[in-house]
């Protein structure tokens, strides 16, 4: 699937589920890492995480497009387009748009650091580096040491 296919798919989903036209651009953004897609308020364009398509296929992309189109159409109409707004929750429910997309990696895969307690020898996985001078073991309050990087 390329950007032209994504544009046509977005226009089709907009017409089918929202009975409205999508008049802006939808394209893949390979720089997205933690989100499935995003709606840009200033340009009204929709960016989709290409890695979601590679890993989960077209059905995942359809769900992400539905979610982003909820933001799009509500913002264009001047209604509540944020996740916390009742308009957004109602439209998401009507169209079957999911609240979250499936994560690309779980916490264990994303963890960059492993720490071990000197006292009870419990291991802790962390994505970010921990200051071992300040942080202690949550189980026994023992001193932590970095095992792997």
71 carries a ligand binding annotation: yes
Structure tokens at 87: 């308009």
Catalytic pick from 68, 121, 123, 148?
68
Q: Is 68 a catalytic residue?
A: yes
Structure tokens at 134: 């300040």
DSSP 48: E
Residues in the chain: 149
DSSP secondary structure, 80-136, as one string? --STTSHHHHHHHHHHT--SSPPPSS-HHHH--EEEEETTT--EEEESS---TTT-B
CB 90 within 8 A of CB 75: no
75 annotated to bind ligand? no
Q: Which residues are catalytic?
A: 68
Residues in the annotated binding site for Zn(2+): 67, 71
Residues in the annotated binding site: 67, 71
């Amino acid at each position: 699937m390329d950007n032209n296919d994504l544009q046509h798919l977005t226009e089709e989903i907009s017409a089918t589920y929202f009975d409205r036209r999508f008049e802006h651009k939808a394209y893949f953004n390979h720089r997205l890492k933690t989100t499935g897609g995003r709606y840009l308020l200033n340009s009204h364009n929709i960016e989709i995480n290409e890695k979601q398509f590679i890993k989960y296929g077209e059905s995942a992309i359809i769900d992400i497009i539905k979610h982003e189109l909820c933001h799009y159409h509500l913002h264009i109409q001047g209604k509540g387009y944020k996740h916390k707004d009742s308009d957004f929750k109602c439209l998401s429910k009507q169209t079957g748009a999911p609240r979250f997309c499936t994560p690309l990696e779980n916490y264990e895969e994303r963890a960059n650091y492993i720490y071990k307690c000197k006292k009870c020898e419990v291991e802790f996985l962390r994505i970010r580096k921990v200051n071992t001078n300040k942080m202690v073991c949550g189980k026994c309050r023992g001193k932590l040491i970095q095992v792997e990087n």
